[in-house]
């Protein structure tokens, strides 16, 4: 089992190197197998059905917020006051991506709409799906009042975007000195105050 996990990680690392250097289109299963020092490119298909699935896994394994919800089962019963800040911190960690990962994500998304769609499904889409499931479960537990969880999941993530965008692209949004933790604390409080069951 450990050997299989090591081999899978070896393939993911090699795939990242190839995708980062050559892009999605330029990297091939054969070149990835060579970088991973595999005897045969066919071994990659033991772990991943195709190059697209491998690319999705490379992206999701390197994006902190996606890693944070990779194993959702133990997270579902956590109270919102504990889980939502955890998601927010992982979301804000996006800027900690190394420049090659950032270039790969942005470059491929700009060049190829299908890659952008693939990224959304394996990244933000996966996080939104988790949040919808989590919020629905919190409603069932009585911690949150019944509501449209599709909208509330988007609303929560939307509350975080200006803070991250301010640090990454639009510094004037964060000129007031608001820290990530201050923003996150207020966002979670505002979000939950609208969703707590009536007394």
Looking from the CA of 36 toward its CB, the CA atoms found within 13 Å total 27
Same domain, 139 and 179: yes
Closest by CA to 136, choosing from 27, 35, 128, 28, is 128
Whole-structure pTM value: 0.70
Which of 36, 58, 80 terminates a domain? The answer is 58
Structural domain for 47, as ranges: 1-58
Same domain, 26 and 111: no
User: pLDDT tens, position by position, for the chain (199 residues)?
Assistant: 566 668 888 998 999 889 888 888 889 999 999 999 999 999 999 999 999 889 888 877 777 777 777 788 999 999 999 999 999 888 777 655 556 666 677 667 677 777 667 666 666 778 889 999 999 999 999 999 999 999 999 999 988 888 776 666 666 766 777 788 998 999 999 999 999 997 4
95 burial class (0-12, 13-18, 19+ CB within 10 angstroms)? exposed
Same domain, 13 and 81: no
Return the CATH number at 30.
1.10.10.60
């Amino acid at each position: 089992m450990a050997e299989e996990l090591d081999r899978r990680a070896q393939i993911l690392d090699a795939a990242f190197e190839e995708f980062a250097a050559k892009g999605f289109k330029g990297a091939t299963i054969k070149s990835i197998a060579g970088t991973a020092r595999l005897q045969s490119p066919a071994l990659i298909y033991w772990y991943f059905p195709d190059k697209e699935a491998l690319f999705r896994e490379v992206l999701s394994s390197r994006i902190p917020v996606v890693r944070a919800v990779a194993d959702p089962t133990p997270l579902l019963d956590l109270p919102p006051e504990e889980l939502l800040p955890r998601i927010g911190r992982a979301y804000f960690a996006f800027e900690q991506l190394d420049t090659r990962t950032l270039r790969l994500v942005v470059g491929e998304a700009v060049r190829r709409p299908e890659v952008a769609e693939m990224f959304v499904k394996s990244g933000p889409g996966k996080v939104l799906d988790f949040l919808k499931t989590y919020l629905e479960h919190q409603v069932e537990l009585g911690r949150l009042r019944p509501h449209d969880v599709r909208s509330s999941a988007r609303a929560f993530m939307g509350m975080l975007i200006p803070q991250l965008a301010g640090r990454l692209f639009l510094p004037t949004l964060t000129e007031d000195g608001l820290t990530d933790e201050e923003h996150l604390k207020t966002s979670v409080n505002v979000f939950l105050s609208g969703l707590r069951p009536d007394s």
